[in-house]
Homo-oligomer: A and B are copies of this chain.
Amino acid sequence: MLSERQMMILRAVVRDFTNTGVPVGSKALAKQLPIHVSSATIRNEMAALEELGLIKKTHSSSGRIPSVEGYRYYVDHLVKPDPLRPNDMDVIQSSLGGDFHKIDEIISQSATILSNLTSYTAFTLKPELKDSRLSGFRLVPLGKRQVMAILVTDSGDVENQTFDVNESVTGDQLEAVVRLINDQLVGLTLPEVVKKLQADIPMKIANYLQSPQGFLDIFGDVLTRAAQERFYVGGRLNLLNFSQDSDVDSLKSLYSLIDKTDDIANVLGRPDDKISVQIGNEMTNDALRNFSLITATYDVDQHGRGMIAILGPTRMPYSRMLGIVGAFREELAKKLLDYYRFYDE
C-alpha cells in the first residue's frame, strides 16, 4: 500500500517521463511537487518505490523511469482522464459532421480522426451484434464472362467479388447454383456455412457446373472475408515516429502484425465495458514490447457494440489519451445512433 506522498511522486514521475522522455531525478521533483520537502526525502521515497518495482533506473546513477508495473499502478489508481481540449472537440465534431452513406465510412473515418487527435495509430471496429448469419447470396452477370458474387449477412455486412467464368457456363446454371446456396445455407451462421462447404455442398454443385472448383474458391473467398471482423486502421505511418533506434526488423514485424486482421483481433481482445489499457509486455506479442494499447467499446443500443483503440509508445501521456478515447467513443456512438435513426425510420 502506497502512502499519499508516494502516490504523488509516482504520479509525477510518470507524468514527467511521458511528457519529456527523460528520466526524472529527485531534485527536479522536489522543486516541482506541491509539498515542501528536500530532494533527499524524495530520494528515500523513490528508493522505496523502486523496491516495490514501480520505478527503475536506466543506469546506476540515473533518474527514474516507470516500470511496466508502475504504469499499471498509475493507470489503475492515479490517472484521471484529461478533459478534452476544445479544439479537439471541434475536430471530432466537424470530421464526423458530414453526410455518410454507409456505416463503414463512418467507422473508417473514425480511425483517421482518432489517429490525428493522438498522432498514434488507431483501430476501429464497427458495431456487431453476434455471430452473423448468411442472409442472401447472388451472382450478377456483368458482361460476356464476368460475374459478381455478392454475399449478405443478417448483420448487414456485404462482401463481393467479381470473377471470370468460361463462356460455356449459362445463366441458367448460375441461377441454379444461387438457388442451391440460398436453399441450403441461408440462415446458418458463417462458421456453419464453412463446414457445410467442405462437406456435401461441392457434390451438389457438381450437378450444375462442370468444374465447380473455381466457383467454390470464389465463394469460400467472400465467405472468409465476411466472417472476419474488419478493422479499419488510421495513422499507420505514425508508427515510424517511435521506431527507436530505427530497428527496421521490429518495425517490419509490427506492420505485418497490423495488416493481419486475425492477429489484431487477438491483440485487441473481447469487448468489455471499461476503457482498458495494455502496457508493453503485458501484451504477449513481442513486436508490441515498447507499445501500449488503449481499447474501448462503444455502445449503439440495439445495434450492438463496436471497438476503438489506439496504439502508441509505452510512454504515452495516458491522461490525455484516456480523455480522448473516452470522449470519442461517446461522440461516435451518438453519430451512429443518428445514422441508424435516419435510415431506419
Contact = CB atoms under 8 A, between A and B. Distances in A.
A345 B240 contact: no
Given A162-B158, A342-B166, A343-B164, A140 B142 contact: no
Given A101-B218, A102-B164, A156-B146, A138 B136 contact: no
A218 B102 CA distance: 10
Interface string A164-187: 111100000000000000000000
Interface residues of A, number: 43
A143 B152 contact: yes
A150 B152 contact: no
Contacts of A164: 101-103, 343
B160 A148 contact: yes
Contact of A167 (B140, B243, B256, B345): B345
A145 B251 contact: no
A241 interface: yes
B145 A158 contact: no
Nearest to A168: B345
Interface string A266-279: 00000000000000
Contacts of A345: 166-167
Interface string A133-153: 001101010110110101010
Interface in A322-345: 342-345
A143 B165 contact: no
A110 to B, nearest CB: 17
Contacts of A8: none
B142 A214 contact: no
Contacts of A102: 161-164
Nearest to A248: B240
Interface in A4-32: none
Nearest to A241: B248
A158 B138 contact: no
A156 B140 contact: no
A240 B248 CA distance: 6
A70 to B, nearest CB: 28
Contacts of A148: 150, 158, 160
Contacts of A163: 101-102
A246 interface: yes
B343 A166 contact: yes
B150 A142 contact: yes
